[in-house]
Chain A
């Protein structure tokens, strides 16, 4: 079974979901919809979904069940990943094998295995499928499969204070959630945590059961635009100005990652003082290193700089946090970020063609010889 999944792993409709809060996993239920956890998308109504070729497409959250921790995301275009079927078996036995697909700690799609420790574990007034398979941050929202490659649960959480105690949302609940979504008439709705009623707009009390929804942050947050952190606000403004979709670039809290042409670009705060832009471009060749290093250290690159991190040449820009909090100068900084993004895309080609470097593993080599790239 594992070998079969691994053989076909690149074709499975299981994708990484990115938001400004973190990353998780989602799986296709048809060509344009995927299911993930509510806590993966929360509190965002738009997310990014990364395809296997590292391109990202926009996803719009259509339905959320905060209590059952499920969400449906509609993709901006159809994708051709294989849709894994939802199992129609209601009863599973302890010790039955479980195969978990997901993106643990941001790694590429991975398979972990274990067994069902308890098929119907009661926890916080809900039933879960308990497993001993390794579950890590990033696995959330991914499918748990049986030996027949049928989805038997959706990965949701684990006990941090224990080893090998992970939980999945039973497939019966997932199926019901998907069926209700198929019958949904409003573009977006959040299910009442108490009675499951679908609610399409902000309200204090559930119109069906009267529960006070003001006390439920996991409900309320979907109806309010998240407060943008000043750093996030600055970065996303700069990205938008450079024609990079900030939603697609989000990669967790104060982290962004995207490609510009062939250049992979990451943005993050390494400490409370610095905002870093960095692009892993190339690896030094074996000859002509003196010339290469002279080029990398040349004063002409300021305010950008190159460094050698292990065996990878990176191009970097460091912005001091005090600059981010000096809004009067943002136009200058936004322009600087734009130049960095443009230059990163052309720099790898230069390093490879002029200085005999090799493409970095992260570089999108397909783009290196593209005409537009040549002209950059």
Chain B
């Protein structure tokens, strides 16, 4: 069955607040550190990382940062700084050896400052050092990486190894109507991706594979508040099918396998892996005017869309553009007005004939860049692989 329109639903995932960091605070923290105010520098660094938060005093009161289902605990005792985030508790019924192998090979071997440490049967990510050695840049990196690691694997660890989740923050389940909407998105998204895979088998185009791969992951990331083992499984599959260094045949097979598996997931499993989590440290990067310009404009983008339209390849043209919007919405936090402006072309394009959808999204991109784009941000907060993480170029 040929594809006549794209499915680009409104998200169930709540919008992350756009809270740009005040980089002057980070600079101030460095100045404090260098002038010997080491404890004050720790408080200032945390306040920089979490805009709106009152500057904490870790000597007087330990701090617990809720990051999804993880609790990252910080305190200062004497001249030492301590960070800890419990990952799991080994139990007699768990596959402890496999879990320990995972920690020592997949978590420890990443070479981060934090490390998985075992105390009795509890595995936690830990870091400790003298306050005098907690430079703000080190502390900021430590908090960001620990928060990401701790919140990414908890449910997956339980499902994979039968370990016990401990010291976890409960995640608010979706309301009934939200859950129904999420299930509808889940079903329709994977059905649409399967149709695209059929189209890909006919066309045998690596460019189309790249676009479908980006669509498969970024739409789910954007539309659903997914966490736990399902998210981890998707991420593992994405590592293969979105890897442009990998052979296209292997990527296509991985994507097909992923679609097949995702379509078989039960409602119970979905329910376990959907929920609205709180994040002390924004897990998204702050979007910037220059990022908008970079992703939604440029001679190469115009040329590609023009060539696709001229060749009558409307699916590729529409999907190519939709993926750019999904990427910006999935992985970056925006002011409400820009988020709405990014969402609008998807609403207009969803369900419409492909040619019209492509034209609508192209016109909106031009207007968006004109209204909100920019060049040369002083401090762009975007990942190093921002140009390839989700966008098709």
Choose one: B101, B135, B136, B137; the contact of A289 (CB below 8 Å).
B101
Q: In the complex, what's the smallest C-beta–C-beta distance from A320 to chain B, in angstroms?
A: 4
Q: Which residues of B contact A332 (CB under 8 A)?
A: 130, 132-133
> Which A residues from 288 to 315 make CB contacts under 8 A with B?
289-290, 293-294, 296-299, 302-303, 305-309, 314
Interface string of A320-345 (1 = CB under 8 A from B): 10110010110011000000000000
Interface string of B88-130 (1 = CB under 8 A from A): 0000000011001101110011011101111100010010111
How many residues on B have C-beta within 8 angstroms of the other chain's C-beta atoms?
29
A107 touches B (CB below 8 Å):
no
Whether the Cβ atoms of B109 and A274 lie closer than 8 Å is no
Q: In the complex, what's the smallest C-beta–C-beta distance from B275 to chain A, in angstroms?
A: 30
Choose one: B105, B111, B133; the contact of A308 (CB below 8 Å).
B105
Q: Which residues of B contact A297 (CB under 8 A)?
A: 100, 103-104, 108, 116-118, 123
Whether the Cβ atoms of B135 and A320 lie closer than 8 Å is yes
Q: What secondary structure prevails in chain A residues at the interface with B? A: mixed
B138 touches A (CB below 8 Å):
yes
Distance in angstroms between the alpha carbons of A314 and B109 in the assembled complex? 9
Distance in angstroms between the alpha carbons of A225 and B36 in the assembled complex? 33
Whether the Cβ atoms of B135 and A326 lie closer than 8 Å is yes
A12 touches B (CB below 8 Å):
no
Choose one: A299, A308, A322; the contact of B135 (CB below 8 Å).
A322
Q: Which residues of A contact B129 (CB under 8 A)?
A: 303
Q: Which residues of A contact B112 (CB under 8 A)?
A: 318
B141 touches A (CB below 8 Å):
yes
Q: In the complex, what's the smallest C-beta–C-beta distance from B248 to chain A, in angstroms?
A: 27
Choose one: A276, A305, A323; the contact of B138 (CB below 8 Å).
A323
Q: Which residues of B contact A333 (CB under 8 A)?
A: 133
How many residues on A have C-beta within 8 angstroms of the other chain's C-beta atoms?
30
> Chain A residue with minimal CB distance to B112?
A318
Q: In the complex, what's the smallest C-beta–C-beta distance from B284 to chain A, in angstroms?
A: 22
Q: Which residues of B contact A289 (CB under 8 A)?
A: 97, 100-101
Whether the Cβ atoms of B126 and A276 lie closer than 8 Å is no
Whether the Cβ atoms of B101 and A307 lie closer than 8 Å is no
Q: Which residues of A contact B101 (CB under 8 A)?
A: 289, 293, 308
Q: Which residues of B contact A303 (CB under 8 A)?
A: 128-129
Distance in angstroms between the alpha carbons of A307 and B137 in the assembled complex? 25
Whether the Cβ atoms of B138 and A320 lie closer than 8 Å is yes
Whether the Cβ atoms of B109 and A299 lie closer than 8 Å is no
Whether the Cβ atoms of A326 and B97 lie closer than 8 Å is no
A316 touches B (CB below 8 Å):
yes
Known: A290-B100, A294-B118, A332-B130. A320 touches B108 (CB 8 A): no
Known: A293-B100, A332-B130, A332-B133. A316 touches B113 (CB 8 A): no
Distance in angstroms between the alpha carbons of A336 and B130 in the assembled complex? 12
Whether the Cβ atoms of B135 and A305 lie closer than 8 Å is no
Q: Which residues of B contact A276 (CB under 8 A)?
A: 111
A273 touches B (CB below 8 Å):
yes
Q: In the complex, what's the smallest C-beta–C-beta distance from B250 to chain A, in angstroms?
A: 21
Whether the Cβ atoms of B108 and A273 lie closer than 8 Å is no
Whether the Cβ atoms of B108 and A299 lie closer than 8 Å is no
Distance in angstroms between the alpha carbons of A318 and B113 in the assembled complex? 6
Whether the Cβ atoms of A307 and B105 lie closer than 8 Å is yes
Give me 21 A-to-B residue pairs in the complex whose CB atoms sit less than 8 angstroms apart, sorted by A's number: A274-B113, A289-B100, A289-B101, A290-B97, A293-B101, A296-B108, A297-B104, A297-B108, A297-B116, A299-B126, A302-B117, A305-B108, A306-B108, A307-B108, A314-B109, A316-B111, A320-B113, A320-B138, A326-B133, A329-B132, A333-B133
> Known pairs A297-B104, A322-B137, A329-B133. 13 more at Cβ < 8 A?
A274-B113, A293-B100, A297-B108, A297-B116, A299-B118, A307-B104, A318-B113, A320-B137, A320-B141, A323-B133, A329-B132, A332-B130, A332-B132
